[in-house]
Amino acid sequence: MTTTTTTEDTPRASKVPLLELDNVSCEYKLNGGGRFRAVSNVSLQLGRSEVLGLVGESGCGKSTLAKLICGLEKTAGGTITFESHPVKPLGLGRRPKNLLGVQMVFQNPYASLNPRRRIRDQLTDALALDPEHNWTVESLLEAVDLPLDAAQRFSHSFSGGQRQRIAIARALAAGPKVLVGDEPIASLDAFLQARIARMMRDLAIDSGASMIFISHDLSVVRDIADRVAVMEAGNIVEVGSTDQIWNDPQHPYTKKLLAAIPKVDGKGIIPG
Amino acid sequence: MSIGTPKQPPTNTTSASAEVADRNPVDRGVKRWQFRFPKALRTPLGFIGAIILSIWLIVALFAPLLAPFNPLAQDFPRLSAPGGGNLLGTDTLGRDVLSRLIVAARTTLPAAVFVVICSAVLGSVLGAIAGYFGRAVDEIIMRIADLVFAFPTIILAMVIAAALGPGLKNAIIAILLVSWPSYARVTRSLVMSARNSEYVVAGRLLGFSAGKSLIREISPNVLSPVVVLATLDVGSAILTMAGLSFLSLGVVPPTPDWGAMISEGVSQFAAWWIAFFPGLCILTIVMAFNFIGDSLRDSLDPHTAQEVGETTS
């Protein structure tokens, strides 16, 4: 079952979607032969200045979908368009200029920064992309609450949360129209998760970008997303505004997911 | 291109910095992150290696001043024992062994360093291309490398040197041709693992071309293992070169060369000094390069570097 929402659901979204996925599928070849359909016939739309939360359990295809949007995986069918440019898989050549507006924040902050380059150099590379030059290295570091001397340092001197903030700063520096967060908070502790997620949302919206925020943490998604898409086994089973999904879930899987959120009620019951 | 590992300003706790300073008296008072080559000297072996190597560099540099006699002049009694007028004795043609040893360092050292730099550059460029682009490019380059690997190094070097004819230039070409594949292999595997890492993908998402991605993002991360390998390889290049000279495929007589001198000494076993001292020269210099290479490897090892970083974060 595949559900697409109409733009009426979301007051923020304008008529023409910024990013549109139409019937997109993705398959992986399995080692023993055969194929695994990681994403199957997904249709989604992302409007301007909108935060879409993508939730689902591990292995349901969330990350694959993020990679498809960035052109890091080949589609097995369907089309992805960003500002009416088709998203083509990134081969060995340079990424097309008109797709540079889609940037990604990766899951693992320990792997997403170059260990042998100074933070300043990595941010400067990204800054070169933004034609309007809204940011400087200093203002970026300030925006993500890092000290200015961080620019001169290497990534190994930062904690996981700090690294993730640098990664967010780098993605923002490129002046993205769509910021894709592929479980950017998954490897952070509970206190940081909400803070980093909030920071991502605020920075993305303030800079006029939309965001696709992938997470399996529903409470954080509820806090920051305007719309939520629920994914199960490669399919989008339900899309709706955050309130709608939260208060009136339609699909049984959504209900199950919501029921699985741990509640601090002192009863000592393990949910699920 | 710097070979030093990334340093960070000493913003750490006092105990950690004091510990580092104790192990590293050389750096004390120097701004550490500006000091290019500090960690290599931190181990006793690295220090010994550096001293032996610098002695050899001085010897090679000032060879004409240090050599007591003309290395080519056959002025002395044949096969005179060490001591007396000739400190290390004379060879079968009455030439002073010490002078020949000192002058031989002038050809051996630069030639070995040159051949290693050439093969490191050639091998790692080819390896990086193979690792980054994969598929057909990878297959072609690496199968050629395998072809070279299929033969024992010295045998193949002998064949090539024999085919090209004796001479220092041809010996260098021969060693270059047999030693590049090890760099290609190391660089290829490093580049392959680096190119799928998220920081490289992030760079690609920022619109880096393949070349920019290789040079800016990947090369700083693969450079140090290649440098370590190259340092260790200088020793084996010297050995191979001596081996070729031993077989009269290297430096042409009468130019003094350690390998050729050993070859000469083998036929004069009673005059042990003819072969012994050049052997000692080869031993010390190869050992020095291996010591330096080992301690370089320890200090440039990403895991060790990571630990240093973690303690200060």
What's the start-to-end Cα distance of chain B, in Å?
26
Whether A12 and chain B come into contact, CB under 8 Å, resolves to no
The shortest CB-CB distance from A70 to any of B200, B205, B210 is to B205
Residue A200 has pLDDT above 70, yes or no: yes
- Judge whether A138 lies within some domain: yes
Q: What is the pLDDT of residues A95-123, one digit of tens each?
A: 888 888 899 999 888 888 888 888 888 88
For chain A, the domain total comes to 1
Task: Provide the pLDDT confidence category of residue B39 given band limits of 50, 70 and 90.
Answer: low
Cβ pair B309:A157 closer than 8 A: yes
Cβ pair A117:B8 closer than 8 A: no
**CB-based contact A126:A171 (threshold 8 Å):** yes
**For residues B261-282, average pLDDT:** 88
Express as a percent the part of chain B with pLDDT over 90: 34
- Judge whether A207 lies within some domain: yes
Q: Which of A245-254, B35-44, B154-163 has the lowest mean pLDDT?
A: B35-44
Residue B186 has pLDDT above 90, yes or no: yes
Whether B15 and chain A come into contact, CB under 8 Å, resolves to no
**For residues A43-64, average pLDDT:** 88
Cβ pair A114:B133 closer than 8 A: no
The CATH code of the domain that includes A235 is: 3.40.50.300
Top mean-pLDDT range of A11-25, A249-263, B168-182: B168-182
Express as a percent the part of chain A with pLDDT over 70: 90
Q: Which residue segments constitute the domains of chain B, with CATH numbers given?
A: 109-298 (1.10.3720.10)
The shortest CB-CB distance from A157 to any of B206, B209, B312 is to B312
CA A61 and chain centroid, separation = 13
| CA pair distance A63, B42, nearest whole angstrom | 45
Size of interface A-B (CB pairs under 8 A): 89
Q: Is the four-CA dihedral A46, A49, A55, A58 of positive or negative sign?
A: positive
Q: Would you state the structure tokens that stand for residue A172, as one six-digit string?
A: 């923002």
Cβ pair A156:B199 closer than 8 A: no
* Residues facing residue A240 across a β-bridge: A228
| CA pair distance A210, A208, nearest whole angstrom | 7
- Judge whether A80 lies within some domain: no
Task: Provide the pLDDT confidence category of residue A216 given band limits of 50, 70 and 90.
Answer: confident
Give the pLDDT of residue B190.
92
| CA pair distance A80, A90, nearest whole angstrom | 13
- Judge whether A159 lies within some domain: yes
Residue A161 has pLDDT above 90, yes or no: no
Task: Provide the pLDDT confidence category of residue A9 given band limits of 50, 70 and 90.
Answer: very low
Cβ pair A154:B8 closer than 8 A: yes
Q: What is the pLDDT of residues B14-37, one digit of tens each?
A: 444 444 444 444 444 444 445 455
Domain range for A249: 4-12+48-70+98-259
Asked if this assembly's ipTM is beyond 0.85, the reply is no
What mean pLDDT is reported for chain B?
81
Alpha-helix residue ranges (DSSP H) falling in chain B: 14-23, 44-61, 63-66, 97-133, 135-149, 153-164, 168-195, 198-205, 210-212, 219-246, 258-266, 272-300, 302-312
- Judge whether A93 lies within some domain: no
